Amino acid sequence: MSNYAVAMEAAWLVRDVEETDDAIGVAVSEAGKRLNETDKQYVEVEPGVTGCPACGEPFDAAFLAANTALVGLLLEIDVFNADSEEHAERIAKSEVGGALRDVPLEVIDVMETEADDEEESDGSAR
């Protein structure tokens, strides 16, 4: 069994905003609140980034039209004792998806992580 860091992208809809920075703040806050309410404080929530189609430079993943924004969020979670990368993906989507119902999620990266020395010695997981 291995430990994995799983990164997911979420699409968050924010209504009644006039600035993309406000929309990003609201999206991060609302996602964090919903995760905290379901005891998922261990999920990291950050604004997503996307590359400029012309120059490739990264910029905030937010689109604003008619005072409504679609904000891309980056969600990261550590999964312990998974059988494989696919198993870690399923666990992560289940954990986060249960808290963020009706929010589209897509796994964008899965990376195997090193086990802590403490875990190796006693076989436990956090």
What pLDDT, in 10s, does the model give residues 77-117? 999 999 999 999 999 999 999 999 899 999 999 999 986 54
CA distance 21 to 10: 17
Annotated domain spans of the chain? 2-113
C-alpha separations of 66 from 16, 34, 112, 121 in Å: 8, 25, 42, 56
What is the model's pLDDT at position 90?
95
In this prediction, residue 123 carries a pLDDT of 44
Fold for the domain defined by 2-113: Alpha-Beta Plaits (3.30.70)
pLDDT tops 90 at residue 121: no
- Evaluate if residue 119 carries a pLDDT over 70: no
Q: Is pTM, for the whole model, over 0.95?
A: no
Task: Report the alpha-carbon distance of residue 53 to residue 47 in Å, rounded.
Answer: 19
**8-20 pLDDT, tens digit each:** 999 999 999 999 9
Q: Who contacts 64 (Cβ-Cβ below 8 Å, separation ≥6)? A: 17, 18, 19, 20, 23
